[in-house]
Amino acid sequence: MLCLLALLHCVLLFFPARAAFIPLSFGVGRCSLGDYPPATNHASCHVATYRYTIDLVQGPFAILRFSSFFLPDDDFVLVRSLDANSSKKLRLSGRNHRGAFDAPPIVATSIAIELYTHAPNASSQSCYGFQASGYTANLMEEAHEESLCGGVDRTLEAPCYKYNTLMFARSDAVARLLINKNGAYTACTGWLLGSEGHLITYRDCISAQEHTYRMQVDFNAQAPTCPSKAGDIVCTKPMACGKARDTYIGSPRLVVSSATFNYTIIQLDKTLADKYRYLKLRVAGPVLAESIYIVQHPLGYGKRISDKTAAGKATIEATNGKDAAYRLDTQGMSSGSPVLSSTDHTVVAMHYGGLAACPNFGIRSDVIVSDLQARKINIPNAFVYTPADA
């Protein structure tokens, strides 16, 4: 195992899959595209005055890109799923949206984009309207390996662990990150560290302040219950299970990004730690053979938890000066996930990658703690020195 740890950085990398952007051109108004609103069907604000549909054959969701968006305050574009038994929709109003932007993701197999207007006599001189240039259909994977160990995914929807009260409670602090990198989207996992709203993740996910500007941080993106029968909600699609999610809207601040130890910490809002609680790093680090579990958003799915391997309970199998090795199942975009002790529920490693045939690896908690202390970065209630502090 130690030789595998030594070889890790030589064999870990591969070429990332690019996110698929599907170019399209549609819209209404904005002078060059014709009158605003269209000359038909504007007798009632409850009837769409413009409608465009897209079959999402390239991926399981869409992030619409608007190259231009300028509507009267009370008018809005409604993006809604056309899937049977789905009520997913996004409302983009003229009051809250202007200019060029990417809409939040919507999970569906086909969608309608509809314009609802309250101003049928709006002056054409104002050039009201919108123009869309296409949509992103899937996520870009970062350039590192993450593995299912034994070929079977033993992770479960987070609510399936409600029987373990502490384990399920700790999972509240884990979030799904959607990050816009120059128009290409990737997802990662992050978690609240300490009581002041700090969030930590893998450095490949966020390495610069610019990566935080248009990022989406989803808490509670998970199935409502543990699925046990046909028809129950499962979250095994990218960006799935957003109905109950709590999306952070704010201005994250980059606190530190360590190229040496591959972690980044950003500052969100303290109220998040009050609402979703927070995790702590164990100062002493992981212990060989101790039982562990991982909370993650693999492939941008809803939240999942695992504490098992093909041989039984997952454990810390080896360590070196920086990493801990284990056989917990992970997939792309699990990077940044906390690996926690099943005994005291402190974080003993932050997952970041692995070998194609396993094991997987995480940065040891004591390594992160030492680096933060050396940098004199103080994060209240972020460390556990003794079991009583957990």
Residue 142: pLDDT band by 50, 70, 90 thresholds? low
Helices (H) and strands (E) in the chain, counts: 4, 28
When mean pLDDT is compared over 52-61, 141-150, 291-300, the highest value belongs to 291-300
Residues 6+ apart with CB under 8 A from 390: 280, 344, 345, 346, 384
Under 8 Å between Cβ of 217 and 187: no
Under 8 Å between Cβ of 340 and 292: yes
pTM of the entire predicted model: 0.88
Cα 265 to its chain centre, rounded Å, is: 15
Residue 33: pLDDT band by 50, 70, 90 thresholds? low
- Give me the pLDDT at residue 102, please: 94
**Torsion angle defined by CA atoms of residues 351, 168, 172 and 298, in that order, rounded to the nearest 10 degrees:** 40
Count of Cβ atoms closer than 10 Å to residue 375 Cβ: 11
Mean pLDDT, rounded, for 299-311:
94
Pick the CATH number of 7-11+142-389 from 3.20.20.140, 1.10.760.10, 2.40.10.120, 3.40.50.10490: 2.40.10.120
Residues 6+ apart with CB under 8 A from 208: 254, 257
pLDDT greater than 70 at residue 12: no
Residues 6+ apart with CB under 8 A from 230: none
Q: Which two tokens stand for residue 105?
A: 């993701």
Residue 125: pLDDT band by 50, 70, 90 thresholds? low
β-pairing, 318-319 vs 323-326, is antiparallel
Count of Cβ atoms closer than 10 Å to residue 301 Cβ: 26
Residue 120: pLDDT band by 50, 70, 90 thresholds? low
Under 8 Å between Cβ of 168 and 159: yes
pLDDT greater than 80 at residue 365: yes
pLDDT greater than 50 at residue 385: yes
Residue boundaries of the structural domains of the chain: 7-11+142-389, 21-136
Mean pLDDT, rounded, for 14-25:
68
Specify burial of residue 246 (Cβ count, 10 A radius: 0-12, 13-18, 19+): middle
Q: How far apart, in Å, are the Cα atoms of 286 and each of 306, 361, 362?
A: 17, 12, 10
Residue 2: pLDDT band by 50, 70, 90 thresholds? very low
Write out pLDDT tens, residues 235-285. Answer: 999 999 877 789 998 889 999 999 999 999 999 999 999 999 999 999 999
**What percent of the chain has a predicted confidence (pLDDT) above 90?**
68
Alpha carbon distance 363, 285 (integer Å): 10
Write out pLDDT tens, residues 194-222. Answer: 999 999 999 999 999 999 988 999 999 99
- Mean pLDDT estimate for the chain: 89
pLDDT greater than 80 at residue 114: yes
User: Quick one: which of 301, 136, 297 has its CA closest to 202?
Assistant: 297
Alpha carbon distance 382, 366 (integer Å): 12
Alpha carbon distance 100, 106 (integer Å): 18
Specify burial of residue 82 (Cβ count, 10 A radius: 0-12, 13-18, 19+): middle
Alpha carbon distance 146, 352 (integer Å): 8
Residues 6+ apart with CB under 8 A from 87: 81
Write out pLDDT tens, residues 70-106. Answer: 999 999 999 999 988 777 889 999 999 999 999 999 9
Q: Phi and psi at residue 263, in whole multiples of 5°?
A: -135, 155
User: Quick one: which of 66, 63, 61 has its CA closest to 110?
Assistant: 61
- What CATH class is the domain 21-136? mainly beta
Residue 6: pLDDT band by 50, 70, 90 thresholds? very low
Write out pLDDT tens, residues 143-195. Answer: 667 888 878 899 999 999 999 999 999 999 999 999 998 888 999 999 999 99
- Give me the pLDDT at residue 4, please: 46
Q: How far apart, in Å, are the Cα atoms of 283 and each of 198, 228, 277, 350?
A: 18, 39, 19, 13
pLDDT greater than 80 at residue 126: no
Of 250 and 32, which is predicted with more confidence? Answer: 250
